[in-house]
Structure 1
Amino acid sequence: MSSSSSNVNLETRSPLDEVICFNKGGLFDLGHPLLNRIAESFVKASGIGAVQAVSREAYFSAVDGNRMDNTGGMPSEVSNAKKHRLHGLRGETSSKSLEAMVKNTGKESLQWGLAAGIYSGLTYGLKEARGANDWKNSAMAGGITGATLALTSGDTSQEHMVHCAITGAAISTAANLLTGIF
């Protein structure tokens, strides 16, 4: 809790106190810093995942509306990304299309939140257990998070899981090593 609201009783906090608390990372108080960190990371990343999913769908709806040929002249990364959309999403204004978008947004929100919660919890736990906050913690947390995310995709083969674990560990380690450089 921030110093301006530390003397304020929970029942009498104003909306401004809540916003100040949110900005300082005090979104939850579940009784333990590890639980607080996991919950906050999950909620914040879930929101980012939802915005990303809705933005992507809006983009593809706009592109589909402006082109008769869906792949003609489109960069390969755009046409490849379209393959990952739900089959029910066709840029229509029907209840099925809206329902598919809501399901897709929920799934992606859950995946983003899961990744952030697992990674944040693991880095915190490893820091507490090892007594160090270094690239090794990042590599381990990134690898476990990557493997876990592989389980949420359609392809749960061992090769895919190993690929995701290595990618997660590499990205996490690189981010840790580059902290403070930029």
Structure 2
Amino acid sequence: MPESRLSGALMSPKVNLMVDMGNPFLNHTLDGFLKIGGVAAAKAAAEETYKMGKRGSVSGQSLEQSVRKMCKEGAYWGTVAGVYVGMEFGVEKVRGTRDWKNSLIGGALTGAIVSTASGHDKDKIVFNTIAAAAIATAKDFLAYLT
């Protein structure tokens, strides 16, 4: 009796786009902005495509609104990622070591900066700082497990 076997590997695609800004800090920051901003824009595009499909119609106004949302989401999340990557890189250079503590500090600084720039009150800034630090640290611990 013939036997068949299916095997494979699931790997995430690597996208490396290097824009040399002449400074490693700026290079890392721009890289984070472009990668995460692109992901956020793609997410917004998928959501908007679903909404248009559900409505069953596409108009010039809905396309324009979708492009605006893609740009807004991409710019926001790209900026957050750029700030985080820049903070983590800067902390690594200041501390002279590469470990999970850089992610913790970089995440906390990013949470505080983004929350303050968004005009939140003091309590919300503290909560966002703690959340961003925890998420950034969890990212390192999860990467260590895989």
Band of TM-score, shorter chain: 0.7 to 0.9
Distance of 1:104 and 1:26 partners within structure 2? 24
Question: How far does the alpha carbon of each residue in 1:139-160 deviate from its partner, in whole angstroms, 9 at most, with x for none?
Answer: 121122223443576x733333
Paired amino acid for 1:129:
V
Residues 167 and 43 of structure 1: CA distance in aligned 2, closer, same or farther (over 3 Å): same
Structure 2: gaps (5+ residues): 1-13
Distance of 1:176 and 1:40 partners within structure 2? 18
2:9 corresponds to 1:45:
no
Paired amino acid for 1:44:
K
What is the Cα deviation at residue 121 of structure 1? Answer: 0.9
Output aligned runs, 1:49-60, within 5 Å. 49-60=40-51
Partner-residue secondary structure (3-state), 1:179: helix
What is the Cα deviation at residue 94 of structure 1? Answer: 2.5
Distance of 1:58 and 1:147 partners within structure 2? 34
Question: How far does the alpha carbon of each residue in 1:67-115 deviate from its partner, in whole angstroms, 9 at most, with x for none?
Answer: xxxxxxxxxxxxxxxxxxxxxxxx7522322222111111100112111
**Superposed structure 1 runs of 4+ greater than 6 Å apart:** none
Residues 28 and 147 of structure 1: CA distance in aligned 2, closer, same or farther (over 3 Å): same
Distance of 1:32 and 1:110 partners within structure 2? 22
Residue of structure 2 in register with 1:108 after alignment? 73
- The answer as to whether partners of 2:111 and 2:125 remain within 8 angstroms in 1 is yes
Distance of 2:115 and 2:47 partners within structure 1? 21
Distance of 1:169 and 1:122 partners within structure 2? 12
Q: TM-score under structure 2 normalisation?
A: 0.77
Output aligned runs, 1:25-40, within 5 Å. 25=16, 27-40=18-31
Partner-residue secondary structure (3-state), 2:145: coil
Residue of structure 1 in register with 2:7 after alignment? none
- The answer as to whether partners of 1:111 and 1:149 remain within 8 angstroms in 2 is no
What is the Cα deviation at residue 26 of structure 1? Answer: 5.5
Residues 181 and 129 of structure 1: CA distance in aligned 2, closer, same or farther (over 3 Å): same
Distance of 2:17 and 2:46 partners within structure 1? 28
Between the two proteins, what is the percent identity of the paired residues?
35
- The answer as to whether partners of 2:25 and 2:90 remain within 8 angstroms in 1 is yes
Structure 1: gaps (5+ residues): 1-22, 66-90
Identify which of 77, 84, 90 aligns with 1:125: 90
- The answer as to whether partners of 1:142 and 1:172 remain within 8 angstroms in 2 is yes
How many residues are treated as equivalent by the alignment? 133
Tell me how large the CA RMSD over aligned residues is.
2.4
Output aligned runs, 1:88-167, within 5 Å. 93-150=58-115, 156-167=120-131
- The answer as to whether partners of 1:142 and 1:171 remain within 8 angstroms in 2 is yes
Residues 25 and 156 of structure 1: CA distance in aligned 2, closer, same or farther (over 3 Å): same
